Amino acid sequence: MKHISGRVEVIAGPMFSGKTEELIRRLRRAEIARQKIQVFKPSLDKRYGTEKLASHAGSEFEATPVDEAGEILDQVEEGTTVVAIDEAQFFDDEITSVVQALADRGIRVIVAGLDTDFRGEPFGPMPVLIVQAEQVDKIHAICIVCGDSAPRTQRLIDGKPAHFNDPIVIVGASELYEARCRDHHEVPRDTTEERDNH
Ligand code: ADP
Ligand code: MG
């Protein structure tokens, strides 16, 4: 078996940019290379059932849901050569030391996640993971408004752009996320109260 040295690869971009698709593509190739693969995702991501990664285009790969980054270290088995982590932005900061420890052990670690939140701000541990990585691929989606390349995620609440300070959970509101280019990404800065009075 070909030796693959430890390394960290990050796949970053907005929603719909193909991060999970790209992660699955790399894992399929690692399978062909007869690597021993383990895949993890945060258990709060329940969009497509808990035991799988699933891309918006329909491809799937088995994954183990974990509540905290530290659990990944406990669960990685002897002989595993490739560890993949999807939706890394949702993990606590410990994910950065977990990823480093795995790569130091000689494991190829492939991490996918949103680099920015709906406000365009750095998302959780992603900036540190990007700096730690040997390889970073920043990929874009397609802007829903104009068809240009889209590096950002637009959050819409009841059809209107979410404000910078809107709470993460709004009970009773319909929420939608879209990929947008810089020009069409809107994050109004005034408060929720002011918006309601408009
Ligand atoms: P991510 O994990 O980054 O959210 P996925 O890998 O789940 O992305 O999905 C990527 C797929 O989503 C694309 O191949 C395409 O079929 C679909 N898609 C839907 N909306 C868009 C969009 N606005 N831009 C690009 N792809 C989109
Ligand atoms: Mg994804």
Structural domains of the chain sorted by starting position, each given as residue range(s) with its CATH number in brackets: 7-139 (3.40.50.300)
CA 46 to chain centre: 14
The single residue listed with the structure tokens 């002989």 is 79
Backbone angles phi, psi at 128, to 5 degrees: -70, -45
Q: Is 68 part of the annotated catalytic residue set?
A: no
Q: What is the pLDDT of residue 197?
A: 47
Q: What is the pLDDT of residue 10?
A: 98
Average confidence (pLDDT) per 10 residues, the chain, 198 residues: 81 98 97 97 74 89 96 97 97 97 98 96 97 98 98 96 88 90 94 51
Cα-only R_g, the chain: 18
Probe target for ligand 1 pocket from 39, 48, 55, 116, with the most ligand atoms within 8 Å of CB: 55
Ligand 1: residue of 52, 56, 86, 114 to mutate (most ligand atoms within 8 A of CB) is 56
148: number of Cβ within 10 Å: 14
pLDDT score of 196 = 53
How far is the C-alpha of 198 from the C-alpha of 194, rounded, in Å? 7
Q: Which residues contact ligand 1 via a Cβ below 6 A?
A: 13, 15-21, 55-57, 141-142, 144, 179
pTM over 0.75: yes
Q: Which of 87, 94, 186, 193 is catalytic?
A: 87
The amino acid at 1: M
Report which protein residue has its CA nearest ligand 1's atom 27. 16
**Ligand 1 center–CA 196 separation, angstroms:** 32
The whole-number pLDDT of residue 170 equals 78
